[in-house]
Structure 1
Amino acid sequence: MKLTVFGATGGIGQELVRQGLAAGHEVTAVVRDPARFTVTATGDRLDVVRSGLTDPQELRAAVTGRDAVLSALGARSRKDAGVATRLTRTVLGAMEAEGIRRLLVVSAGPVGPAPEHDGLLDRGMRGLVSALLKDVYADLREMEAELAGSGTDWTSVRPPRLQNKPLTGHYRTVIDGFPPSGRFIARADVAHAMLSLITDEGAVRRGVGVAY
């Protein structure tokens, strides 16, 4: 497949590029700061495009003819709240201008519904984290509202606390929900889940909780 990855300098974004190339896909990595992009590849299956992500017209060439677009765009800290919605609007504008439909984005577990039969500890932790990061989660909810109002075949992948650990390929996913007692997942496994969901028709225009 031909894929475009936004947010390709972050932990999940670089894993999307790395794993996408390893699976034999052609990958366009869109970055704001090329110095932070560390993925290397031989051959011509990787194209790195620099963009400030402010103009949908500028991004049209990066998404045209692609089978799917994957976005790891989001706030790195609370002070960046608002960036996910703003940058995702730009991506949506470029995709809709080029007629590209499949889009997968990274959101967060607390944005979706709580797990069924959640224990007291998990409910308490979820509430505490949601309070501490309320501006970030408000941004992600607004981003998901933008997706819902778009003409794309989107999927929002909602992980819990992220870890910098190796890929396992073993995790749980719940469409329109969240895995019970799912507290952690590696960034590499979030990327793996996103790539696996590209062709999952049951995940189109749905949120997917993912966790160990």
Structure 2
Amino acid sequence: MRVTVFGATGAIGRLTVQQLLDAGHHVTAFVRDPAKLILTHQDLTVTTGQLSDPVAVRQAVAGADAVVSALGPSLQRSATGSPLTEGTRNIVSAMEAERVTHFIGLATPSLADPKDKPHWKHRVLPVMARLMFPNALAELTGMTAAVTDSGLDYTIARITNPTNKPATGRTRSGFLGHDKIGSAMTRADIADFLVSQLTDTRYRRAMPAISN
């Protein structure tokens, strides 16, 4: 497949790009600073641009079979504005214009999926996030709404505590109140889950929570 990756220079994004390439996919990585993506491969195209530039975003999406967004907001309390929300809206618009329907991204269990049942995470996590990372929560809410309010064929993986430990190859996925989902998950396993959603149809137009 031809896959466009946004957030390709982040910790999860770099792993996602590498795993896509290892699986034989052709990858277009959309980055602000290409020097931060220390990868070379015959099937990797690096496109430089800003998420705020709808023309550059559309050029990166053109010809793709799917889009993977590993974008995540800053956790600094001083962060302001909504660049990732606006950027995600540009991605969605570009996908609609280019008739690319498959979107895979990330969010948080602070945001509920309709398939969830009542769970303590719905009560605790949003309160903690609003107190500790109010702008990050606002960004994740806006980014998610930009996708779920569209007609795209999306899968958004909700993660809680990404770690840099080695990949385990073990993933729990499902919906809060239904399935036994933990909190911690290695970034390598998160990347593996994102890549797997290119062909796994269980979570189309859904937001599964995932953990190790």
Q: TM-score, normalised by structure 1?
A: 0.87
**Distance verdict in 2 for CA 1:124–1:146, change over 3 Å:** closer
Q: Distance in 2 between matches of 1:178 and 1:29?
A: 36
Q: Distance in 2 between matches of 1:171 and 1:38?
A: 27
Q: Count matched residues.
A: 209
My pick for the range that moved more, 146-155 or 78-87, is: 78-87
Q: Distance in 2 between matches of 1:16 and 1:61?
A: 21
Aligned position for 2:62 = 64
Q: Which amino acid is 2:136 matched to?
A: V
**Distance verdict in 2 for CA 1:77–1:34, change over 3 Å:** same
Within 5 A, what are the aligned runs for 1:16-165? 16-41=16-41, 44-78=42-76, 79=79, 82-112=82-112, 127-129=127-129, 131-165=131-165
Give unpaired runs (5+ residues) of structure 1.
none
* CA deviation profile, 1:93-130 (whole Å, cap 9, x unmatched): 2111111000011111222369768679x975774345
My pick for the range that moved more, 79-88 or 176-185, is: 176-185
SS at the partner of 2:174? strand
Q: CA deviation at 1:181?
A: 5.6
My pick for the range that moved more, 23-32 or 145-154, is: 145-154
Q: Which amino acid is 1:74 matched to?
A: G
* CA deviation profile, 1:47-93 (whole Å, cap 9, x unmatched): 11101122222222221221110001121224156233111011112
Q: Distance in 1 between matches of 2:52 and 2:120?
A: 42
* CA deviation profile, 1:107-163 (whole Å, cap 9, x unmatched): 11222369768679x975774345312331222122221112212111111111111
Q: Distance in 2 between matches of 1:26 and 1:71?
A: 16
SS at the partner of 1:206? coil
Within 5 A, what are the aligned runs for 1:160-179? 160-175=160-175
| Bigger share in helix | 1
Aligned position for 1:195 = 195
The answer on whether the counterparts of 1:166 and 1:188 sit within 8 Å (CA) in structure 2 is yes
> Identical aligned pairs, as a percentage?
36
The answer on whether the counterparts of 1:63 and 1:69 sit within 8 Å (CA) in structure 2 is yes
The answer on whether the counterparts of 1:155 and 1:203 sit within 8 Å (CA) in structure 2 is yes
* CA deviation profile, 1:7-43 (whole Å, cap 9, x unmatched): 10001110110000011111111101112112233xx
SS at the partner of 2:110? helix
* CA deviation profile, 1:157-187 (whole Å, cap 9, x unmatched): 1111111122222110115778546121111
